[in-house]
Structure 1
């Protein structure tokens, strides 16, 4: 499903009208009708006292149509209009007049307190005040009206987006409707899935409102669901063998940080890698040997960490590998940074770059475009802040656009981890992940993800497919764990659940 910003949402409506010939009034009719139709399984409209809050924009027009359908569903409806009537479109004005002809009360108000007695008695409040065009926080009487609606005991249904949310960032800079349900038109908007916007939307229901699916094809961002990634799952034949399922080389670990490499290897193992070699310095190698017998632990440095002089031996050892992963637990010593940059510069094929390898890329200002391999970078927000020089706050507010820009400018696949994780490609594709939960906010989860993505690369997926499917499977495994315990499961638990997640995904409709 497409995931649109404010300008794209407006353009989609324009395409529907100009390219497909759908009149604005038809789109508005379908939008208002769907508010009742898509919620009637959860909300009882019959005999309900319904208050509909309308603004003077097209969101308000949707509200006038909703009033008619609510009335036809035998609800007791009253509409409050707050806004400059001169700004109403012809379609909005027409549906306003339809309400008048149906003797549905439409009360024009300037003060929020005028609606208070009705809000107190309401069973359902429909929010059609503002819509997706908002650029800054709501204040004044509209903010007061929003606050009063939030204080009501009624079920709140937002039309397209809760009033007060900034569509592109999901930020709440002033008063915002706390919706129990949001019925969005055409397709999802960014505020529906970005934090904190997703906290205000309640259950989101999507109404296509008659817009043909192809109308949104030009927009790059996708909300990734099971249907999108199920076809990507590698399917093994009866003649598969370990060599045909990828030989992975994981370059990880240092003295005191042995476990990070093992977590990455474990993620790769449970994601189906054929063979895995963990290249790590001598001291962590001694700690790890035999802990996971399926992993070949290769001592690759006589020091407690990797240094530039180890590059030749490591690359010689990884020469037979189909995929490399580098970074977990490497440490941040100057010598290790030099080692990382040399490995990236001289390696070919897919390389997953994570953790301390990302630190080295940022510290050394390594020119990613000059790398011979196909890079997948997997930073969390803090690591991405170091790579870009931007603040964590700025990144969280613009994570989709910033991920897309970085991938394009540096010609890499960028997996920006977080809520939600955004995967971006150099060609402009953007995948926003729909799985994962707060219980996954614990140490080692990123290392496990690195191994999962590497394993999928080794099984024949390209770097884009490996990243998108890997992120989804990792999150789904976490969601399966959260069904048992919302907090307290580990990265190892998630790794061991990947086969179950894969089976569940294969069985999804």
Structure 2
């Protein structure tokens, strides 16, 4: 992997800007743009560009738009770049052409641009001619003995633009070009003040469908991808090389059929901002909904408080926590804002008879969360059976003796099921038909394995398709957690969340997430929207926490919950 770099004595001024916006590792679009919000394969991108060309937006114009948008993204990310030394590392194809256009616009903005060509380009190349007319130094690799000029450029430049290979490339990098990349990495490793790196469309050497990437590829601080994101940018190992991803507008309208029919999307700040619930000044707690959280057991008591905190910090008006009686007393001081339901128990775990307590409260809540900290005891399985299918449970004698008059058509509120609740659910025949339509299921890969019978390796190899397939089969929203969480709708849509941080790899962070999602359900969002917004706020909170604490290693679930308001504030609505 290429080396990370820092080319300034003042890192905050150079663009980290933790206090202004959490930018690292999440997809963004420029304010005011109309983002496509799509993820497209290489083949789909070719079809999109071909259709655009046939409709009058020529390939040449798309390249011009791409270079201009990339230059604008660079200047937005690093405002001081207009005075920097910039080196364009350009290949012989279209990606290199994009890089030359970037160089043209950065030169016009005041940067000092040099170009290093991995192979000679033709004299008819109009983009190269513009660079020549600017008087920018141009070096061709085959004429640079022992890469002396390349070394001089790397050690003196502030910004290196990687535009050698584009989305059509399949690793490995070979021949003289491999030698160039190996040399660049060697020099970067020797130079403590090495330049920032921007990748054009993708880091050179990446398979943009699979995420496979060449060992010699350069690790970018910023990848400006064109028209839409590519799957490989969000798949490991390639995802380690992309830095922040920004989508550049190249002039293709989002209404174009080849784009509009694509159902795989990514979440952006601009996209989710519109879903934040309004906070009217004349509101009362009922305005923002009541969440009932059924959680916790003698061995996992803290899950209930983390979920409740996640729900409250995400804006719920009232959170009622239902827990086994032995753990209620010491949980109250942890979240005094909650109201409480004390549940029947056996040795500190929820029993089947607890379902009657919950069923009586359901008409008075707008969202129900089940599962965090349950454990997997038979008694709690009986509770789940009775709750989601009370008439059948009554006939089987599960729960209270009082079975008379149970409403066969009892309507459950919108439900989120998490953690052990999912494993218990898998033990209930036909569970999916008894839940409210488009309930939200939030498995990590291990829980997904229990629910589906697939191995974790099979799930991880095809995360998006796995989530889509089972969401459709079950008829519910699936939140497949992990690096780049996938939210899939039973209607065939899927959204990838742009967060992959070890800050979230902690016990309890999933409890916070499920509470946040339930909160947004209670505030009136549709299930698919609530799941995406909850995941986005949760992931962003993790990024903020890592920035404030100074290390992902020290972030705990409570930090994530406490920083949810900061993430919401960053979205600009509250």
Q: TM class, shorter-chain normalised?
A: 0.7 to 0.9
Q: Give the CA deviation at 1:35.
A: 4.8
CA distance in 2, matches of 1:505, 1:74: 35
Q: Give the root-mean-square deviation of aligned CA atoms.
A: 3.7
> Would the alpha carbon gap of residues 232 and 53 (structure 1) be closer, same or farther in structure 2, given more than 3 Å must change?
closer
Which position in structure 2 is the counterpart of 1:311? 355
In structure 2, the CA distance between the partners of 1:137 and 1:411, relative to structure 1 (3 Å rule), is farther
1:228 corresponds in structure 2 to 271
Q: 1:199 to 1:137 in 2, by over 3 A?
A: same
Shift of 1:36: 4.8
How far apart are 1:47 and its partner, in Å? 9.8
Are residues 132 and 93 of structure 1, via their aligned partners in 2, closer, same or farther at CA, if it must alter by over 3 Å?
farther
On the 8 A contact 2:471/2:478 being kept in 1, the answer is yes
Task: Quote how far apart the aligned CAs of 1:339 are.
Answer: 3.0
Tell me what 2:463 maps to: 399
Of residues 225, 228, 246, the one that matches 2:289 is 246
User: Which of 295, 305, 323 pairs up with 2:338?
Assistant: 295
Distance in structure 1 (CA, Å) of the matches to 2:473 and 2:169: 30
- 1:264-306, Cα deviation, whole Å (9 max, x unpaired): 1222223232333222223223443454333222222231323
Report if the CA contact (8 A) 1:46-1:75 is conserved.
no
The reply to whether residue 503 of structure 1 matches residue 540 of structure 2 is no
Q: Counterpart of 1:13?
A: 49
**2:371–2:418 contact (8 Å) kept in structure 1:** yes
**Cα deviation 1:315-369 (Å, max 9, x = unaligned):** 2343433211100111012342343244334562311010001112345575425
Corresponding residue for 2:18?
Answer: none
Equivalent-residue separation in structure 2 for 1:46 and 1:119 (angstroms):
21
Distance 1:265 1:486 in 2: 26
Tell me if the contact between 1:52 and 1:126 (Cα under 8 Å) persists in the aligned partners.
Answer: yes
Distance, in Å, in 1 between the alignment partners of 2:461 and 2:174 is: 21
- Give me the whole-angstrom Cα distance separating, in 2, the residues matched to 1:286 and 1:474: 28
Matches within 5 A, 1:202-213: 202-213=243-254
Paired with 1:43 and 1:506, the residues of 2 have a C-alpha distance of 25
Q: Distance in 2 between matches of 1:324 and 1:186?
A: 39
Cα distance per residue 1:393-452 (max 9 Å; x no partner): 554454333333332332211222223222222223333334684323322111111112
Q: Distance in 2 between matches of 1:295 and 1:17?
A: 58
Task: Give, in angstroms, the shift of residue 239 of structure 1.
Answer: 4.8
d(CA) in 2 for partners of 1:310, 1:328: 16
SS across alignment from 1:484: helix
Retained in 2: the 8 A contact 1:32–1:65? yes
Change over 3 Å in CA distance of 1:29–1:422 after alignment to 2: same
What is the DSSP-based 3-state SS (H/G/I as helix, E as strand, rest coil) of the residue aligned with 1:339?
helix
Change in 2 beyond 3 A, CA 1:339/1:134: farther
Which of 488, 494, 507 is residue 560 of structure 2 equivalent to?
494
Deviates more, 1:9-18 or 1:486-495: 486-495
Question: What's the TM-score once normalised by structure 1's chain length?
Answer: 0.83
**Correspondence 1:66-215 to 2 at 5 A:** 75-81=113-119, 95=126, 107=140, 116-123=147-154, 125-139=160-174, 141-153=176-188, 155=195, 156-172=197-213, 174-215=215-256
Q: Deviations over 1:455-507 (max 9, x none)?
A: 22112222122222222222333344334213434323332333343334335
Of residues 301, 313, 316 in structure 2, which corresponds to 1:270? 313
Farther off after superposition, 271-280 or 171-180: 171-180
Separation (CA, whole Å) in 2 of partners of 1:261 and 1:251: 7
Q: Which runs of 5+ in 2 are unaligned?
A: 1-34, 189-193, 391-410
| 1:137 to 1:363, Cα distance in 2 relative to 1, 3 A | farther
**What residue number does 1:260 align with?**
303
Q: TM-score, normalising length from structure 2?
A: 0.75
Q: Distance in 1 between matches of 2:386 and 2:146?
A: 68
Out of 325, 330, 333, which is 2:374 matched to?
Answer: 330
What SS does structure 2 have at the residue aligned with 1:77? strand
Structure 1 CA distance, aligned partners of 2:295 and 2:173? 49
1:471 matches 2:535: yes
**Ranges in structure 1 where 5+ consecutive residues have no aligned partner:** none
- Partners of 1:364 and 1:144 lie apart in 2 by 59
SS of equivalent to 1:377: strand
Describe the shift of the 1:268–1:143 C-alpha distance in structure 2 as closer, same or farther (beyond 3 A). Answer: same
Aligned-partner Cα distance in 2 for 1:463–1:454? 9
